Structure 1
Amino acid sequence: MKAKIRIARLLQYLLFFIPVKKTRIMFYANNRKGYVCNPSVLMESFWLKHPGEYELIWVTRFPETCTMRTGITVVRQRSLSYFKLFLRCGIFITNDMIDEALVKKRGQIFLTTWHGGGAYKKVGKETINEDKTFAANFDKWYKRLDYFVSSCQACTDMYAEAFSLDRKIFLETGTPRNDIFFSKHPEIKKRVQDFYHISEQTKILLFAPSFQMTAPEKEQYDLRYLSETIDRLEEVTKNNWIVLYRSHYFREETNESLDERILDGNAYYEMQDLLYTSDLLVTDFSSCIWDFALTGRPVFLLENRLKEYEQMDRGFFVPYDTWPYLKCKDIAALPDMAVKYRDEDFTTLYKQHFETMGSFEKGTACEQILHILEN
């Protein structure tokens, strides 16, 4: 792989004279299937606002998961077409680091939207057990950035330090993928309900544990406790419930359950649609808690996982005992926690947290970012 990267970079240097095409934009959501996350939302915004005016290219490791769409070109990452199209690319947008195989030249804009809001987990040089070789590449990966999208003031402050970045490159706009939480989208709910063949009245518990570097390669959860949790929720709320089990994309786990109410959350590519549609979130330290809090709905955190991550993995910028989410000892304690569920609004509690973090989320992230890139 390293030899391929060196050859690709050499060829780009040899073709350095090829001029940049400002209306060509490439989008990449790191290691994801389908059109997802912040890059997809920005691509959609460009397509809707400027139909036919921009050449929009979606980069992916899984082109077979991307259905054909009018006005969108799909290419496999690090393929010949990928490098060929990049030679004249005006703007490259990703939700992570910029591909080290790409050689940036004058006139090109590199932007990262990042892939999580709230600045909860430590990143960059602040990490505890980060691989030293990996950490040594931070400057190479991030110093080429022109823009870094920030979800809150805490993100700007902590990420600027963690990646040794100039604070001037941070776009304090909020997160593009979170714009959907500031308006009603009945079509999103219907899309999710139709995909899983559930009724409008059925409530959804989204179980979405995050990735932990120190966790076993195949970490299984005892699904009996999820079944018991559904039973308790149905008893308390008098509604039918299902669980969507969504594992992290770094480690997609197949958990077989005899309970037909526990469904595969990974089968549906776009996480934001699931967050928008779900009634209750159970997770650990996933940054989706920041996104889901914008709905005002309850979040349960598995406290044993938080402690493990703090002690054995990267740790947290913001102490988890200050987070405004309900804590659950572990998954075995989840059924008993269900009785604390109420179909109420947690907006006031979350609002205080957003104010403390200096949230930039207003539902206008896409509009602001497009304005900057257009000019």
Structure 2
Amino acid sequence: MNNKIKLQLCLMRCLHALLPLDHRKVVFCSFSGGTYSDNPKAISERLHELYPSAKQVWLFNDPKEKQVMLPQYIQGVKRWSLRAIYELATSRVWVFNDTQPYWAYKGKNQVYIQTWHGDRGFKKILNDCRPRTKKDQLPETKTCDLAIAGSDFGESIFRSAFRYTGAILKTGTPRNDKLIDIDVETILQKKKELHLDASCKYLLYAPTLRSKASETKQDQAIQQIDLIEVLAFLEKSTGERWKVLVRAHNKVVGLSGIPESEKILNVSHYEDMADLLQVSDILISDYSSSVGDFALTSRPIILFQDDRESYLEHDRTFYFDLDTSPFWIAQSQNDLVSILCDLPNRDSKQNCQEILSFYKTHESGHACEDTCNFIIEKIH
């Protein structure tokens, strides 16, 4: 433990000892302070509906940048600033979807909820990649009071990757409540909010991050996928108008190599993936856990994996053999076109059900409410 971490830990302990706890305060953080999105956002919004007197504080890398998108009931604070340490030390509840720093000391009267952000992923994470020693074990192993899972698979990840042995609420993933039983009116309203053409079909292309692009802070090149050809085949086979939404992973600066076309829209700036999944008619990804969420919509999912060997060598290994899973997989442009042409003969609803069963999914549609009820109980 370096001196800076020791100093921060000491400061938090002192604040705990000197300052009273604000029992109505809840601190949120999503993707290490990078976004206002995901499970914390879904919980935050529902909590305000159920318990508007709760004080909500969000930690951001750049709170001024986020201010324009925040509701009035949220106070944005710079992540890991002195003010953030104060807010953490004096709040009743923490809600995070990423790991805590080692210095984040939690008092005995505080509650830490870990929602994570990939309930049904492929990629091995944390201890499953590199087991921690007792000296550098994850804070969550001991400090977490409740984990949120939407599947047996998600529960197993908490047990192995986090070495977590505590309570798990397994009624769903809060961000996914909006993906269950979506009606046409909801889709049209969301398209209006996103300034999308209501009469058009949308394919979402959302590749996961590559470690090199994430570490160098450079644009990540898209795979060897011809999106123009994909659009042409879709329009020909369905007789409808199609556009492509392209979204980079939140830990990547952007994507390079996106074709210039009025039919291809870069929506990487849009932070909440669940909204994009709501309005998309097909999802093409590679190794992103978003496919496990999108299966709730019963719409077609295709994994485009033209670089699997390279990915396994330079990025992550997987929890299971993808070739024995229910997913439709294309390892080349020809494979992808073949699947797209065959979509009228494929039962996407059945395939999605097989995917959900594969993960032993438990998505009730009221995961937000269940989590908020737990928080309100602790506040009281």
Secondary structure of the corresponding residue to residue 371 of structure 1: helix
Per the alignment, residue 8 of structure 1 pairs with 8
Query: Could you state the TM-score of these two structures normalised by the residue count of structure 2?
Result: 0.88
Give the letter for the 1:47 counterpart.
Answer: H
| Structure 2 residue 353 is the aligned partner of structure 1 residue 351 | yes
Q: Distance in 2 between matches of 1:140 and 1:31?
A: 15
| Residues 297, 344 of structure 1: 8 Å contact kept | no
Q: Distance in 1 between matches of 2:186 and 2:36?
A: 15
| Residues 26, 93 of structure 1: 8 Å contact kept | yes
Residue deviations 1:320-363 (CA, integer Å, cap 9, x gap): 12332211113464344321233975222322332342212111
| Residues 99, 141 of structure 1: 8 Å contact kept | no
Over the aligned positions, Cα root-mean-square deviation in angstroms equals: 2.7
Q: Distance in 2 between matches of 1:332 and 1:31?
A: 38
Question: 1:214 Cα deviation (Å)?
Answer: 5.9
Q: Distance in 1 between matches of 2:133 and 2:307?
A: 24
Per the alignment, residue 318 of structure 1 pairs with 320
| Residues 122, 318 of structure 2: 8 Å contact kept | yes
Q: How does 1:52-91 map to 2 (within 5 A)?
A: 53-63=53-63, 64-66=65-67, 67-91=69-93
**Are residues 87 and 196 of structure 1, via their aligned partners in 2, closer, same or farther at CA, if it must alter by over 3 Å?**
closer
Secondary structure of the corresponding residue to residue 22 of structure 1: strand
Question: 1:194 Cα deviation (Å)?
Answer: 3.5
| Residues 226, 335 of structure 1: 8 Å contact kept | no
Identity between Structure 1 and Structure 2 (%): 26
Unaligned residue ranges in structure 2 (runs of 5+): none
Secondary structure of the corresponding residue to residue 342 of structure 1: helix
Residue deviations 1:142-185 (CA, integer Å, cap 9, x gap): 3211111112112223430232221x322212100011112436
Question: 1:125 Cα deviation (Å)?
Answer: 2.2
Q: How does 1:114-193 map to 2 (within 5 A)?
A: 114-127=116-129, 130=130, 137-166=136-165, 168-184=166-182, 189-190=187-188, 192-193=190-191
Residue deviations 1:6-32 (CA, integer Å, cap 9, x gap): 333222222222232221100100246
| Residues 97, 142 of structure 1: 8 Å contact kept | no
Unaligned residue ranges in structure 1 (runs of 5+): none
Per the alignment, residue 48 of structure 2 pairs with 47
**Are residues 306 and 117 of structure 1, via their aligned partners in 2, closer, same or farther at CA, if it must alter by over 3 Å?**
farther
**Are residues 118 and 31 of structure 1, via their aligned partners in 2, closer, same or farther at CA, if it must alter by over 3 Å?**
same
Give the letter for the 1:200 counterpart.
Answer: A
Q: Find the partner of 1:200 among 194, 198, 201.
A: 198
Q: Distance in 2 between matches of 1:40 and 1:205?
A: 25
Secondary structure of the corresponding residue to residue 84 of structure 2: helix
Residue deviations 1:167-207 (CA, integer Å, cap 9, x gap): x3222121000111124366763455346543212111100
Per the alignment, residue 241 of structure 2 pairs with 240
**Are residues 2 and 341 of structure 1, via their aligned partners in 2, closer, same or farther at CA, if it must alter by over 3 Å?**
farther
Q: Distance in 1 between matches of 2:111 and 2:162?
A: 19
Name whichever of 256-265 and 108-117 sits farther off: 256-265
Q: Distance in 2 between matches of 1:62 and 1:352?
A: 41
Per the alignment, residue 327 of structure 1 pairs with 329
Q: Distance in 1 between matches of 2:157 and 2:194?
A: 39
Give the letter for the 2:106 counterpart.
Answer: K
Q: Distance in 2 between matches of 1:136 and 1:314?
A: 24
Q: How does 1:172-321 map to 2 (within 5 A)?
A: 172-184=170-182, 189-190=187-188, 192-194=190-192, 197-213=195-211, 218-221=219-222, 225-255=226-256, 256-321=258-323
